[in-house]
Amino acid sequence: MKDFLTIINTWYQSKCDGVWEHSYGFSLDNIDNPGWCIRITGENNKEIWDITNSIDKKIIG
């Protein structure tokens, strides 16, 4: 299985067309200690996906 960074990089490159990357993309941020959140924009009719993970909870949606 490919590692996470390879998957994200491949997805991002497939979207870049000279216009898309100026308005959409993804971010990876810390939310708690420990915890993280990935925000993906510009996929599936431009809705925003937030994927959050921490020790206490896991929310995808």
For the segment 26-45, what is each residue's pLDDT rounded down to a tens digit? 888 887 767 777 888 877 66
DSSP per-residue string spanning 24-56: -EEEEEE-SSSEEEEEEEEETTTEEEEEEEESS
- pLDDT, one tens digit per residue, over 4-17 is 788 888 888 998 99
pTM reported for the whole predicted model: 0.60
40: which 2 tokens? Answer: 């993906």
- Which letter does DSSP use for residue 42 in this model? E
